[in-house]
Amino acid sequence: MAAKVLNPGLSTTVQDLGRPGYFHLGIPMGGAMDRLALRAANLIVGNDEGAAGLEAVFIGPQLEFTRDALIAVTGADMPIKLDGEEKPSWTGLNVKSGQVLSFGFLKTGARIYIAIAGGIDVPIALGSRSTYPIGALGGFKGRAIAKGDELPVGNATSGKEGRSVPEALRRRPGMPAELRVLPGLYWHRVTEQSHQNFFDDQWKVAPEADRMGYRFRGGRPLQFVERDQPFGAGSDPSNIVDSCYPYGSIQVPGGTEPIILHRDAVSGGGYFMVGTVVSADMDLIGQLQPNTPTRFVKVDMDGALKARADRAALLDRIRSVFN
């Protein structure tokens, strides 16, 4: 073991890049909500990009190290302290055995990522160390970390203090946040006017925002194209015969509050969806606080692929800093 939990924060979980392959059984991919931030943290400390780290939302944990370690904290802007002394983010930090890592109040963003050289060494479950709390699967005993837990860390390979991701390569949501959306799925269920309103209106992140999904409020309710509900769908016009849900898909129960499914998505259900957030912008959602003003920006498939290529290029630039 290498880190003892003095205070877990609000909800701090072990996450890596997830466990693809089991969504057809209702077990989501999971993994870091802001993948780019986790990859960067791992690169800084010399880990594989997919090594398991800690994801903490809104409030950072307090950890006492029980052996020397090289760590890095990326993601949201939250003051980092070692024995009370402020330290830089997105930068490799040497920690001595006995030192305590703690955090100040969150400034911007929502989630920090703590990488430790060697990676958090919890057992692998279905190919991943990511925590899926609803299924009590993976991570530290299938749950968020708690006071008194002793986190095992693997053996470090390389990595040295002081290496850092340049400011320009740290991706953050804008203000208002803009999320690119490819319309589709059951987009035809709502009227032309609602199509326009959905992209014209300013929305706001609701308090119900977690790893499973992000809810939004504030836009005009969607109006449905009239039809007789198909057999098995249910009587509400927003109901469909329960189908699969893509990661990033936007369902709008009752036509009122859009919910974007995220890394711990339910794999299916009976609400229609208006489209899907492009894969490149999923990381950004992980950094949205409640009440963040948000715009949905319409793109076509070419736009979605362009966004994907831009994000891949950004990751390559981050990698090139460390190679």
Residue located via tokens 């877990």: 8
Classify burial at 138, counting beta carbons within 10 Å of its beta carbon; exposed 0-12, middle 13-18, buried 19 or more.
Answer: buried
* Token pair recorded at residue 208: 């119900």
CA angle 274, 264, 219 (to 5 degrees): 35
Site for another protein contains 267 (CB under 8 A): yes
53 contacts 16 by C-beta, under 8 angstroms: yes
Site for another protein contains 93 (CB under 8 A): no
Site for another protein contains 136 (CB under 8 A): yes
Q: Which stretch binds another protein (CB under 8 A): 10-18, 35-43, 158-166, 184-192?
A: 184-192
Q: Which stretch binds another protein (CB under 8 A): 47-55, 198-206, 271-279, 285-293?
A: 271-279
Q: Which stretch binds another protein (CB under 8 A): 68-76, 216-224, 226-234, 314-322?
A: 226-234
Site for another protein contains 10 (CB under 8 A): no
Dist. CA 4–CA 202, nearest whole Å: 43
Q: Which stretch binds another protein (CB under 8 A): 65-73, 77-85, 97-105, 233-241?
A: 233-241
Nearer CB in complex with another protein: 122/137: 137
Which residues face 259 on adjacent strands? 215, 251
Task: Give the β-pairing of 213-217 and 259-261.
Answer: antiparallel
Site for another protein contains 284 (CB under 8 A): no
Site for another protein contains 232 (CB under 8 A): yes
Full DSSP string of 56-103: EESS--EEEESS-EEEEEEEEE--EEETTEEE-SSB-EEE-TT-EEEE
Site for another protein contains 185 (CB under 8 A): yes
Instruction: List the x/- string, 34-63, binding to another protein by CB under 8 A.
Output: ------------------------------
Nearer CB in complex with another protein: 83/316: 316
Site for another protein contains 313 (CB under 8 A): no
Q: Which stretch binds another protein (CB under 8 A): 36-44, 52-60, 276-284, 288-296?
A: 276-284
Dist. CA 288–CA 284, nearest whole Å: 7
Nearer CB in complex with another protein: 249/292: 249
- Which residue from 287, 261, 294 is spatially nearest to 35, judged by alpha carbons? 287
Site for another protein contains 225 (CB under 8 A): no
Site for another protein contains 244 (CB under 8 A): yes
